[in-house]
Structure 1
Amino acid sequence: MAIAALSAANADGFFNTIRPHQDLVAEVLAHSDSRQLPVPWRPAADSPAMAELAVEADWTPPGERAPVESAYGKAALLMLAAEDHLDSLSGLYRPPDAVSVFTPSVILRALLETLGRVRWLIDPHIGVKRRVGRNMTETLHTGHHRRKSFTGEDRKAYDRDFDRESLTAWGQAKKYEVAKDKDGSWYVGEPRLGTAKAIGRLFSGSARESAPGTIFRATSAVSHASIHGILSRVELESTGGGAGSRSMATIGTNDAVAAENLAVALYAYVLVAVERRKLLGWASPEWDATVDRVGRLVMKSFEPVDGHRRPTSGLYLP
């Protein structure tokens, strides 16, 4: 399937789908009671994660489960939200017609951030104490920004429902560092990662906290520097910045940029799919192999042909 321009109707549909992504993620975080999950998400009964629940089980937020379990619930819901948008993305493909995605860099950035947040919340190699702190930090961050959307009596009612004081007091009693972040929200243990760092840790071997043997081992054949370069260029061009850059209204009609966006979006698609299956206990060697295959496809798509950029028609989906 080669890449061509999207129709105006499909372009409008795409933007109508992705615009509410950030609001959806905020809503997911704010209503992350594990009982709302439509799929089984709990770690296996004999897993370290379940064993760790007893460590901090003396504090359970009102209406929630123990902190570690709640962190898994948040992460699972984030992955469900990401996959919903990926399904919308894939729905724009209409074989055998030649169609492409209109500015997929928008959804790509949101999806990579989602994956980075999931990793930050439940990374199995950081220990239960830091994972509990991160879950509380995410709760405090979401609560702070939701509070700003209310005024008057509505804000007072929200303050009664969202008991920040008990969260921070519990953190202090457990010997966490509890302080205000630069955006005005509170954190427990460590500040919340910014968007750039959340994404960067997915691709930076020196910065990530995950041990070897995770999905990142399948990306060894992919140049992390190249991925970073692509992301930087896509971000610059999609926001209209820089000399000679294109606006978001026209970027999707540029074949070379569309090819780059689509290739990296495909890579993000597989990363999110693999991570969600691991989170829900559905991991398999076949999915790891798929990551490697798509990673090679992505990089091959950018190989120069006779000293020039590979034309858009050179990117075919298997």
Structure 2
Amino acid sequence: MQKTKVGILRGGIGTGYRKSLFNGGRVLSTFSNDLKDEYQSVDILIDKEGVWHINGLPASIEKIKHSADIFFNALHENSGGDGYAQKIFEDIGIKYIGSGPLASSLSNKYFLSKKALTGTGVKYLAHIELEPFDEENMSAEEYANKETRKVFEKFASPWVLKTKDRGVLGVAQSLDELSELILGYVSNPQPLVVEEFIVGKNAIVHLIEGFRNEDLYSFPPVEIVDRDNFSTPGNFSKAEKEKLTDIAKKLHHVFGARHFSSFYFTVHSKKGIYFSGFDVLPDLSKTSHFEASLRSVGASLKDFLRHVI
């Protein structure tokens, strides 16, 4: 029996290179070892200079196209997971697993993705993007004070200062704290955003289309305790779990995600559930909350990959 050739796309030109290299390598290893009787894996690497390779050798996009029957996209944000590779695939007719260019792009543009929620009834935190610092026309202190006043006029404290790619820089409770925080990052190369800050439980809901005979299968919501710790399933009430699942499924369709997706939320005891971002490719490392979610329902990475292919 002829095996299906699966190309695993990994690497990329941006900051997600190492993460993609590792996670894509794990996918490659699973196909090469656990699924070798069913599939033939092909390593498709984009190096840091943007050169494409097939099993270690530089190759043209046309050769890439004919190297596999279907492709699994393991590129992460800022490394081609922002819709770059998907657009190439669609332009030349390559069949691939994962979301298309639009959903992939929105997953890396959190503040832009909020605009897609208009009219959906899904809550999201207020935010304001700061103007770039113009050092020729004002001092850094004047800039920080001006932007702080703009934030205060839009929504009350507490506030969290972030980079536009969602990196957290600090939390401020007062106008003075916010002004000092902004002042410390006036030279930051990335655009700055101030967002409403609420204290609550952080949740992630992972979804897979068609898994276990469900149109859109939802794993039990995961609770993120801190950067390195999580609980699967999370400590949520039955009503919270149902609401989290319902919202995640709704957003999967709103954003046009495909095959699988992961949605992030903040759950406030009184204010409710707030959308805080989404991914179109889960973290596939052994210690990830996605891997723990698979195990929590008696599944494995092998089961996941066999299903999506």
Task: State if a TM-score over 0.5 links the two structures.
Answer: no
Q: More relative contact order in 1 or in 2 (CA 8 Å, sep 6+)?
A: 1
Structure with greater proportional strand content: 2
TM-score (norm 1): 0.28
